[in-house]
Structure 1
């Protein structure tokens, strides 16, 4: 989706996905070593980035939306933490390799043709021995109508994700239902793919 789409989406005065971190990130964040450098990909309004900064990590967040990044900075300020914000189209520009101890992404939905590039950039941004943690909606999510893009092309296939992560140690892989109540946009039972890998 375009920068204009996300700017329109995040221009709402409310935090459209809420201010609290995603439940999967909350559950898995303990795997990240203390005082890590963490990259947050397609991070939107910053709820997960701010949560990780509150845990003591050095956090950089990437998104293409000016409004999303501004709201990230506001939320970080409210929480008395620092989060570095970088405006970038993650479907066009690769993030530097081997700079982070961990990377996360929550519902970073891009067109199918761009998904391998985004995944490769995120995995490559992490140093050997580092962790990548992400949760996305699966193609089955269309049946649930509880959030996520209304287009099959923007959702993820579990077999494709397995092929993208196969060169790394898979610590956690889940394909199935999960309850997600996050702001106005994710409400109720959905169908997700969850991954934790170690490079």
Structure 2
């Protein structure tokens, strides 16, 4: 989806996905060593980035929406933390390799053709021994109507993800239902794919 789409999506005064971190990120964040350098991919309005910064991590967040990044700065200021914000189209430009101790992504939905590039960029951005943690909606999510893109092309297939992560140590992999109550855009039971790998 375009920058214009996401700028429009985030233009509401409130935080459309809420101000609280994603439950999966909260549950798995303890695996990230103290005072790590963490990259947050397709991070939108910054709720997960701010959460990780509050834990004491050095956080850089990437999104193509300048409005989303402005809201990230606002949320960071409200929580007395610093988050570095970088405007980038993650389907077109790779993030610098081997710079982070961990990388996260929550519902970073891009077209099928762009998914391998995004995942590779995220994994490559992490140093050897680092962690990659992400949760996305599966293709089954369309049936649930509780959030996420209204197009199969923007959703993820578990077999694709298993193929992309096969060279790394898989610590957690889940494909199934999960309750999500995140702002007004993710409400109720959904169908997700969750991953934690060690590079």
TM-score, structure 1 as length reference = 1.00
Query: Cα distance, 1:51 vs. partner?
Result: 0.0
Aligned residues: 199
In the other structure, the counterpart of 1:165 is 165
Tell me how far apart the structure 1 counterparts of residues 102 and 119 of structure 2 sit (CA, whole Å): 14
Tell me how far apart the structure 1 counterparts of residues 24 and 38 of structure 2 sit (CA, whole Å): 16
Partner SS for 1:20: coil
Deviations 1:165-195 (A, max 9, x none): 0000000000000000100000000000000
Unpaired runs of 5+ in structure 2? none
2:40 is the counterpart of 1:40: yes
2:61 is the counterpart of 1:61: yes
In the other structure, the counterpart of 2:118 is 118
In the other structure, the counterpart of 2:105 is 105
Unpaired runs of 5+ in structure 1? none
Query: Cα distance, 1:7 vs. partner?
Result: 0.1
Tell me how far apart the structure 2 counterparts of residues 108 and 88 of structure 1 sit (CA, whole Å): 13
In the other structure, the counterpart of 1:196 is 196
In the other structure, the counterpart of 1:87 is 87
In the other structure, the counterpart of 1:74 is 74
Tell me how far apart the structure 2 counterparts of residues 66 and 31 of structure 1 sit (CA, whole Å): 30
Deviations 1:34-61 (A, max 9, x none): 0000000000000000000000000000
TM-score, structure 2 as length reference = 1.00
In the other structure, the counterpart of 1:31 is 31
Question: Equivalent residues in 2 for 1:121-140 (5 A)?
Answer: 121-140=121-140
Tell me how far apart the structure 1 counterparts of residues 54 and 155 of structure 2 sit (CA, whole Å): 30
Query: Cα distance, 1:160 vs. partner?
Result: 0.2
Deviations 1:11-40 (A, max 9, x none): 100100000000000000000000000000
Partner SS for 1:48: helix
Root-mean-square deviation over aligned CA pairs: 0.2
